[in-house]
Structure 1
């Protein structure tokens, strides 16, 4: 269970944060600005596209695929946005001392219909995936336009030159001294860096804006960077839990299995990201879904004993032999107009979700953004979820 006292102890949080996750989340705004500046230096502004691509395929794994899903949610044109996940894995040759990352052997396959009308974007924080190099070669043979987001000097970045791809920068996280491993882990499954999403999404949006695929409000990326800075201040470790929305959310999630219900495509991306961060950082399960269909998909859990049937306040329960049960909690991720207040009906699906949870005695929490700009709205929902997942991990004693 979460130790509430740790949430209000900045020194203890810092000692527990071996990977400097909070610092890296706080630097998301600066990372967006750096990525945008480097993307412009790479020549995006000089592109002269001959119409929009028919389809934009974003290939990668982890946060790269999340960036592709975010791009799809932010796109309102005739172009189709698809993500291309690995479909297989092959063994990787290595020496006696080195253990290659599992991701190095991932395999991707270009869809049979992909061709000269399509754009393939290959994105990775490592750049050593031979499968992405092979995919770049497939795309080149099909006549696809190609862009690559990868660290400079990596295997994929070098391959991009051979297939005439547009090289876009991957802005790595700032290095910190005395970084330690967070604990025992599979040697070939390293944790993904917490801020990688913005290093992928920023150049991806800069490129698609230039191609006319996305049409965000003017200055949207810069505005999102400013908002990420503001959220970093609100969610800083020395902000008390009652004024820190991420700490408050982490405390409310403790001891529960969250059902992350989103009210639309943008909040659905944030829900998927939140579930991934809770699993990766806090080791907690969470189930995302989109309203209204999630009401029927999750109905069985609402009426089962995992809901409110097991009463944690039962006076006669043996606290030693029967530990506190895990209970469900519904978290509603949604966008709200700036002029709405707490008494405004957010829509039938949200109202029905609240009534359903109340009827089964299940706690409901809100993760709401008032931002009208879709990118700023996405940034707020994702940032609050990221910080909350990290605080939940840091304030939960191991074992």
Structure 2
């Protein structure tokens, strides 16, 4: 246990009360940076510093889609970031409350997710890792932004319909009864915007299904800046960082994406699944009766999903992978997919099993991360309060 603590020395946190006017001015100028253009990786030494923010819900063990769409990408961002880039990764507990949760299970899930983030390779000495629900600035900013967000923009959001459909095991979003929609699930995109804008994030890594949310975040930031324009625009309009991995679909219903909340556990591969479970679930994945293997998401979604998973594991183009299996059958493809997934998950799974028992260490990482996040976002919240007339 002691060895784990010595890996990450205590972080020095300067309280807002001790920050000098000059330091506060410098911090505020950092938050005022204008949006950045994405540049190629070979120009990292020349580009302006970035503030990268991303979050993941604590409910449910991360699956293949979460791993390749978020967690593995976080590790790449951390590896490729320039020394002056800031990276903030959050476990977004408040978002979990948009659907009913068992309190004890949610409390345990928060710690489990922190262990998983560390297990895949996120380093708290380099990146700020924290629980969103331990930084009250998120909810305060969300309320202020919700008072500026037109309800029409929220009605056009589609994610809440998908989440309700999955939670109710409905086959189609049209089957979802709108009366089941709570206010939190309807308005959570505003909280998501606050998560990002509280830190002056310049870049947000998201999958294709989250582009609508980032567009709304930019719209909300623009509305605030036009409503309170002086002395200069305050909220940064974050840039999209589209994750390279394609969307990974349910193993049982390849018409929908893989989900932590899907009722059928065989529809997903979780980061903690054993090799035996992985092989069983891949073997039972929905495919088709067409001979040969081809990549055709429209006509052969199940087969194409397996090729996408294999390409994500081997870090290859899916067309290249498909060409190798042109003369093979689904049995050979499924066997290789299972082996590739096990190879990708074996290391993180072992590290997770080691970390999950070190609760004091996980709590310390979370507390230090929250302190850093609070200090960073305090600068923004003080200026927001001043502009709207609350300070």
TM-score, length basis structure 2: 0.29
Question: Of Structure 1 and Structure 2, which has the larger fraction of its residues in strand?
Answer: 1
TM-score w.r.t. the length of structure 1 is 0.29
